[in-house]
């Protein structure tokens, strides 16, 4: 009855049918694009296309499958219109620089039993930053096939229906995509991806990391980093390779006499992409308030931090960034401290 009302143009009925899937469609678009904000745009585009084509929905598939079909094709159309294409994952200077973090609190809402019997199972391996970065190197259709099969668990036939493609083409694309992903993912990724929650030792490590940042203690920070640790800072094509480079940058950032110094920093624990994360706030000179600065997403292996992905503003360095303020809000973080 509700679907018939929606097909006839009843906006309330249409919203009742589609709203339960908004969050998980957003997650699917995020996986496709790597950008939290662009995923928001694609959700709106998906709902617009769904409304426009509502009369053609005859109920032969579920509403969820119908929306995933529309969302996937909307993302493919968007990707075809963009020139973003990574060149080599092995070269840090060519790192994907448009990736944004995804709040764990939203992942928890999507996967919560309260979401209903069809609540989406979110596998850690398909949401970690290493996976999200690696998948951006796949051609868009291979990316879509891999996500629909491995992240959403659709059958090859269902994927073929979503993409209006042949079964043989889907299986071939999946095989190629999995082969590329095995080469692109970090060597240790297969061992670390099975842990769904941080251990007590990892939580303690994050606390020590926050304390080192808050106290501007370079020695304490160095003790937490593996010798070959890496720091990247999307959206900038900037990276620091190794403990020595990272700590040198830290000294420049925390030294009041350095041009890179913005002010004292305070941190708050959070979580992104099923990884421990730390939100940083800064009090700039002459400003009594403490504003959002950035979010560090950490990869921990063997009791050390091996990778820091630091999401910082792309705007003027000494002014609050509205995009980061919105992103902090999505993480449930306060706008100021």
CA–CA gap between residue 186 and residue 192 (Å, rounded) = 10
Identical topology for domains 2-192 and 200-330: no
Residue 231: strand pairing partners: 240, 308
Strand order in the sheet with 239-241: 239-241, 225-232, 304-311, 291-301, 275-282, 265-272
Q: What percent of the chain has pLDDT over 70?
A: 85
CB 70 within 8 A of CB 49: yes
Q: What is the pLDDT of residues 192-248, one digit of tens each?
A: 555 556 688 999 999 999 999 999 999 999 999 999 999 998 877 788 999 999 999
Note the pLDDT of residue 93: 46
pLDDT band at 336 (very low <50, low <70, confident <90, very high): confident
Strand segments, DSSP code E, in the chain are 225-232, 239-241, 265-272, 275-282, 291-301, 304-311
* pLDDT higher than 80, residue 1: no
Give the pairing of strands 291-301 and 275-282: antiparallel
Q: Which CATH superfamily groups domain 2-192?
A: PhyR, sigma-like (SL) domain (1.20.140.160)
Q: How far apart are the first and last CA of the chain?
A: 50
Question: ω before 235 within 30° of 0 (cis)?
Answer: yes
pLDDT band at 325 (very low <50, low <70, confident <90, very high): confident
Give the architecture (CATH level 2) of 200-330: Roll (3.10)
CB 192 within 8 A of CB 301: yes
Domain assignments of the chain as residue spans, ordered by start:
2-192, 200-330
Note the pLDDT of residue 114: 62
Note the pLDDT of residue 286: 81
Closest residue by Cα to residue 311 from 16, 332, 325? 325
Note the pLDDT of residue 285: 82
Q: What is the pLDDT of residues 55-71, one digit of tens each?
A: 888 777 788 889 999 99
Note the pLDDT of residue 54: 85
């Amino acid at each position: 009855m509700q679907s018939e009302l929606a097909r006839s143009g009843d906006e309330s009925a249409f919203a009742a049918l589609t709203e339960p899937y908004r969050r998980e469609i957003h997650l699917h678009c995020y996986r496709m694009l790597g950008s939290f904000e662009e995923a928001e745009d694609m959700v709106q585009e998906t709902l617009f296309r769904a409304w426009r084509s509502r009369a053609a929905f005859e109920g032969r598939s579920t509403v969820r499958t119908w929306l995933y079909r529309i969302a996937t094709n909307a993302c493919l159309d968007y990707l075809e219109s963009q020139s973003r294409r990574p060149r080599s994952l092995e070269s840090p200077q060519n790192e994907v620089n448009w990736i944004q973090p995804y709040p764990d609190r939203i992942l928890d809402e999507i996967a919560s039993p309260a979401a209903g019997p069809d609540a989406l199972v979110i596998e850690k391996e398909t949401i970690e930053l290493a996976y999200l970065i690696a998948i951006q190197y796949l051609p868009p259709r291979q990316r879509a096939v891999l996500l629909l099969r491995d992240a959403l668990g659709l059958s090859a036939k269902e994927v073929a229906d979503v993409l209006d493609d042949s079964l043989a083409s889907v299986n071939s694309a999946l095989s190629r995509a999995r082969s590329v992903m095995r080469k692109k993912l970090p060597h240790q990724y297969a061992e670390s991806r099975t842990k769904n929650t941080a251990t007590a030792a990892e939580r303690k490590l994050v606390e020590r990391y926050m304390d080192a940042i808050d106290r501007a203690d370079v020695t304490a920070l160095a003790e937490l980093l593996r010798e070959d640790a890496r720091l990247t800072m999307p959206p900038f094509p900037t990276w620091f390779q190794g403990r020595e480079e990272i700590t040198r940058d830290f000294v420049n950032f925390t030294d009041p006499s350095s041009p890179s110094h913005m002010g004292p920093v305070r941190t708050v624990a959070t979580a992104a992409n099923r990884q421990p994360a730390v939100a940083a706030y800064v009090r700039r000179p002459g400003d009594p308030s403490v504003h959002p600065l950035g979010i560090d997403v950490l990869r921990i292996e063997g009791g050390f931090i091996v990778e820091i992905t630091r999401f910082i503003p792309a705007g003027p360095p000494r002014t609050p960034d509205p995009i980061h303020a919105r992103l902090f809000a999505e993480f449930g973080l306060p706008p100021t401290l």
